[in-house]
Amino acid sequence: MKKFFKWSGIVLLMLILSLFLAVFLRQDIKFDAPYPNVVASTDSAVIARGKSLVFGPAHCANCHSSPEMEKDVLNGTDVPLSGGRVFDLPIGLLYAKNLTPDATGIGSMTDGEIARSLRFGVSRDGNALFDFMPFHNTSDEDLSAIISYLRSQPSFSRAIPENQMNLLGRFVKAFLLKPVGPDGPVAVSVTRDTTAEYGKYLANSVANCKGCHTNRDLMTGAYTGEDYAGGLKFDMPSDSGTFSLTTPNLTPDKTGRLFGWSQQQFIDRFRKGPLVPGSHMPWGPFSRMSDDELKAIYKFLKTVKPVSNPVKIGLVKEG
């Protein structure tokens, strides 16, 4: 019996060691994905369109600006996209990159590499990106406008540290992390108007309304709730205890937050910016969306399947 325990102990030890070895060896897995047919332009109208996406619905500024500029982002100001913001997650520390044309930024990335990272979730080094960005179905035309604006900014030198994964993060990277790509063929161009159709494109494929206002498993990112029914809960620890903030239901149901809101009330709400301190919603960039963009989103939200899901509004004390 003693011998049995001795041998099974050794086998177990070997298994654990080989797991660690595999985790260690699988930190640089390469993935293949096509380079989208997207090239930057120096046309001033295209650059202007890109800028309005970057600081508006696509809210790149919310994550790719420096943490010291948080107030300016909330006020909807143009800030340098110097990167440096850290996401402190259960898997480790993730850094949003410098997006200016500097060598510490996107200087050495081709248009195709930037477009591939946004559409297919494959980084410049060929690794899978953690799925933070909602642009897998963004049109060729809009990706090209975004990249055109990025190329036109002044350079800002800021070297961004490598991500620091903890053991769980390394395990996820070794065995679970796969690049996330589009749902199907992506449009070359999308007509910009005030229809629900365009609102759907903005809400699902540019502004990430769906990504936050649908419940999901925060570990894997998988959707667990009905589209736009809210319920995604963020914990917010503070000196006076832990609070939580849950995304409201945006479906046209009695229990939905927008029930009874007119189109004008919806637009006016976006002009006000954040009202709940620490809200995750990128209110700063969203306050810069045009009336037409907001009309389109409002119309689209009216067409979503109504789901009954009462959600407590505002900060809730958890302990």
Given the rule CB under 6 A, which residues bind ligand HEC? Answer: 54, 58-60, 62-64, 87, 94, 96-97, 99, 106, 114, 117, 123-124, 129-130, 132-133, 135, 146, 163, 203, 207-209, 211-213, 245, 247-248, 250, 257-258, 269, 274-276, 279-282, 286, 297, 313
Nearer residue to ligand HEC within complex by CB, 8 or 166: 166
Min dist. Cβ of residue 228 to ligand HEC (A): 9
**Residue 211: both structure tokens together:** 């990504």
Give residue 73's Cα distance to chain centre.
16
Min dist. Cβ of residue 272 to ligand HEC (A): 8
**Other C-beta atoms within 10 Å of 191: how many?**
9
Min dist. Cβ of residue 17 to ligand HEC (A): 28
**Residue 79: both structure tokens together:** 């800030």
Min dist. Cβ of residue 191 to ligand HEC (A): 19
Q: How buried is 55 (Cβ within 10 angstroms: 0-12 exposed, 13-18 middle, 19+ buried)?
A: buried
Nearer residue to ligand HEC within complex by CB, 23 or 218: 218
Nearer residue to ligand HEC within complex by CB, 16 or 130: 130
- What Å distances lie between residue 105 and 84, 128, 197, 232, 251, CA to CA? 11, 19, 35, 32, 39
Min dist. Cβ of residue 75 to ligand HEC (A): 16
Which of 47, 90, 40, 83 lies closest to 64 in space, CA to CA? 83
Contacts of residue 312, defined as CB under 8 A and 6 or more positions apart, other chains included, come to 246
Nearer residue to ligand HEC within complex by CB, 76 or 282: 282
| Strand ordering across the sheet containing 241-246 | 233-238, 241-246, 316-317
State the first-to-last Cα distance of the chain, in angstroms, to the nearest integer: 49
Which of 113, 195, 185, 121 lies closest to 147 in space, CA to CA? 113
Min dist. Cβ of residue 279 to ligand HEC (A): 3
CA pair distance 316, 243, nearest whole angstrom: 5
Nearer residue to ligand HEC within complex by CB, 124 or 192: 124
Helices (H), the chain: 2-25, 44-54, 60-64, 70-74, 111-120, 140-152, 167-171, 196-205, 209-212, 263-272, 283-286, 291-303
Min dist. Cβ of residue 239 to ligand HEC (A): 20
Min dist. Cβ of residue 14 to ligand HEC (A): 32
**Residue 116: both structure tokens together:** 């591939």
Nearer residue to ligand HEC within complex by CB, 158 or 269: 269
Nearer residue to ligand HEC within complex by CB, 43 or 268: 268
User: Any idea which residue has 């319920």 for tokens?
Assistant: 231
Nearer residue to ligand HEC within complex by CB, 153 or 247: 247
Residues in the chain: 319
